[in-house]
Amino acid sequence: MKKPVLLFLMLSLTTVLTLSIRRDVYSRWAEGNQGGESETIIGRWLQARPGMRDKVKIFTKVGSDLGLPGHKGLSKAWIQQAVDDSLRRLNTDYIDLYFSHWPDPQTPVAETLEAFHSLQQDGKIRAMGASNLDAMQLAGALEVARKGGLPAWQVLQPEYNLYHRSAFEGALCDLCVSRDIGVVTYYSLASGFLTGKYRQPSDLAQSQRGGKIGKYLNPRGMRIIDTLAAVAEEQGAKPAEVALAWLIGREGVTAPIASATSVAQVESFARAAALSLSAEQVARLDGASA
């Protein structure tokens, strides 16, 4: 493993960022990869550090298409195989939080919940979560669990940030709050747009995610960035820290997930957890992103 990766992981452990959030499909899109490479990196890191496993929380996912027949979806057979594959790559005997990645219309929800319940009973996972469900899908799954006497989803992972608000705020947030479902957001910085580094098309070449960021370069996006920059200056912070602090303070949100590509970014994200925004600053951010 390369030294920068080791340094990044060690620094993550010494900050508030004690979570290793992976999914079995990472990084299948890279040339020569088959999926699961990021889990393997975490597993090797843990293997080289006896006693470290109890100090970290590992989240991973199942359900993405891995490009092989039967290696996708949320059937009981595939979930059972996928979790064993993840455990082997991670060099651990349990996963703290296991997510379904996408809804699977080909598999009954009851079958998926039964599979996750079996994993809990076997001690392979501690908690179960779902990604990318809307309010109707989550409510339906909760009802299936109630009627079948099955464990329900304990955590939801939606896309939610200062730019993308409407899909989570409202019915989905209300349901999570009323049912005490934890919420960990992804794309918390809108693929890096909320760092404030991207203001014009020529800036997109700075990032491998440039293709995803271009859609934010519009009047509303610029209004959000300008407000973030102003609040950041008032706080003596960075725009990304303010964007994460805003998320941390939202009703229903347990914790935001943000990808870091450098040690400095890990340190910055840790500072966001201690940043306190005033009610007036929150109102300005709300207004800019309305």
pLDDT along the chain (290 residues), means of 10: 45 46 47 67 89 88 79 94 95 95 97 99 98 99 98 98 98 98 96 93 76 92 98 98 97 90 83 95 98
CA distances from 117 to 79, 113, 123, 227, 286 (A): 11, 6, 10, 45, 39
Can you give the pLDDT at residue 204? Answer: 84
CB 134 within 8 A of CB 174: no
Question: Strands 95-100, 19-21: parallel, antiparallel or unpaired by DSSP?
Answer: unpaired
Can you give the pLDDT at residue 15? Answer: 45
Is 1-157 a domain of CATH 3.30.2000.10?
no
CA distances from 3 to 8, 177, 258, 263 (A): 9, 42, 22, 12
Q: Which tens digits make up the pLDDT trace of 13-61?
A: 544 434 445 445 444 444 554 557 788 888 998 898 898 888 888 899 9
- Rounded Cα–Cα distance for residues 231 and 189 (Å): 16
Can you give the pLDDT at residue 108? Answer: 98
DSSP 8-state symbol, 218: S
Q: Which tens digits make up the pLDDT trace of 136-164?
A: 999 999 999 999 999 999 999 999 999 99
Beta bridge partners of 114: none
Closest residue by Cα to residue 220 from 241, 240, 193, 247: 193
User: What share of the chain in percent tops pLDDT 90?
Assistant: 68
- Beta-strand ranges (E) seen in the chain are 19-21, 57-62, 95-100, 125-131, 155-157, 182-185, 255-256
Can you give the pLDDT at residue 35? Answer: 55
Can you give the pLDDT at residue 202? Answer: 82
Kindly report whether the global pTM for this prediction surpasses the value 0.85: yes
Contacts of 169 (CB under 8 A, 6+ apart): 160
- Residue ranges of domains in the chain: 1-157
Can you give the pLDDT at residue 57? Answer: 86
Can you give the pLDDT at residue 113? Answer: 99
Can you give the pLDDT at residue 21? Answer: 52
